[in-house]
Amino acid sequence: MEKLLDNIIQTNRKYVEEGEVASYIPELKKGNKNDLGVYVTTLNGEEFRAGDYETRFTIQSISKVISLIIAIMDNGEDYVFSKVGVEHTADAFNSITNLETKNLHRPSNPMINAGAIAIVSLIKGREPDEVFERILNFTRKITGNDNININREAYISEKATGDRNRSLAYFMKSTGVITNDVEKVLDVYFKQCSMEVTCKDISRIGAFLANDGVIPLTGEKVIPRETARIVKAIMTTCGMYDASGEFAVNIGMPAKSGVGGGIMAVAPEKMGIGVVGPSLDKKGNSIAGIKVLADLSKELELSIF
C-alpha cells in the first residue's frame, strides 16, 4: 500500500505547478506550493502514508463538516435544514449572488461559506469561546489528537481580512437566517477554519465517517449513523463546491476540501483519506490533491458509484 501511495505522489507532483497557494487570506501565502502528501486510515486501524504527510496546514473549510455535525446534534436535522438548504450550487464557495438570488435568501448548502457561517450560529454555547471550545474538543476527539490547536497567525489574518464573509453574514442577519451577534458568530467561524492539522488528522475524520460515526480506534459511537449518512450525502454533492460533479464522476467519494490545501475523503466501510497540497486550482481545491485521489480511487476501486 505504501508503495502504491508513493508512486501516486511521485506521478502527480508535477501538477503543483499548475496551481497557486491561496493568497486572499494573507497568512496562507506562507504555504509551500510544492508540498504533496497523503495519509490513509483504514477501519481496522491500519495507517499508511507517503510524500509530505507531515506538513501542517489550517483545516479551513474541512471544519464545515465538523460544525455541521454539532449543529445537527444540537438542533436536529429538520431545524438545521430549515435554515440552510442542501442543494448544490454552480457558484464559487464565497459567492454573494448565490445567497441573494437562490432559496429565498437561505444559503444553498452548509459547505459554502454562507451556509457554514449560518451553521455556526446554530451551535449551542453561552459565549463564542464555549462554542469554539466544543468544536475544538469534538475535532480532538474524532482525530484522537489532543494537540490540535488554532494557528493564531492564520486566525488573526483571516479575521482582519474576512470582509467577504462579513458581508455574507450581515446579509443573513438582515434576512433572519442569523439571529445572534454577527461578529461573535464570525469569530467562531474564523477560529474553526484556523485549526492546524496534518493529513493524518483529516484521514481520521474521514475514517470516523466511513465507519458511520464510530471512532475506529476506540470503538466509541460519537454520532448516530443517520447523521453520518446525511453529512456524507452533503459532502458528495457539495463538498468540492462547484467542482463536486466532476469530482463525483472522476473520484466518486464523499469529500471536503479547504483552501489550506487539505482534502478529506471517505471510502465508506473502508477507509478515510487525508491529502495535503496547498497549490490550489481556480475553484479553491488542491490541484494535485485531486489527482492523487483520482488515482487512488481507480487503483483501489473506491468510487461509491
**114 near ligand GLN (CB under 6 A):** no
Shortest CA distance to 207 belongs to which of 176, 253, 244, 257? Answer: 253
**61 near ligand GLN (CB under 6 A):** yes
- Helix extents (H) in 144-257: 152-161, 163-175, 182-193, 199-210, 225-238, 244-250
Active site residue 24: no
Strand partners, 265: 255, 273
Q: How many residues does the chain have?
A: 305
Closest CB to ligand GLN among 43 and 116?
116
Residue 199 Cβ vs ligand GLN, minimum distance, rounded to whole Å? 15
Closest CB to ligand GLN among 213 and 262?
262
Residue 7 Cβ vs ligand GLN, minimum distance, rounded to whole Å? 29
**108 near ligand GLN (CB under 6 A):** no
Active site residue 61: yes
Binding mask 197-236 for ligand GLN (x = CB under 6 A): ----------------------------------------
What is the rounded radius of gyration, in angstroms, for the C-alpha atoms of the chain? 18
Closest CB to ligand GLN among 115 and 252?
115
Any idea of the CA torsion for 130, 133, 135, 138, to the nearest 10 degrees? -120
Residue 42 Cβ vs ligand GLN, minimum distance, rounded to whole Å? 27
Contact 63, 239 (CB under 8 A): no
Instruction: Compute the distance between CA of residue 185 and CA of residue 139 in angstroms, rounded to an integer.
Output: 18
Q: Residue numbers of the site for ligand GLN (CB under 6 A)?
A: 60-61, 93-94, 113, 158, 165, 193, 258-259, 284
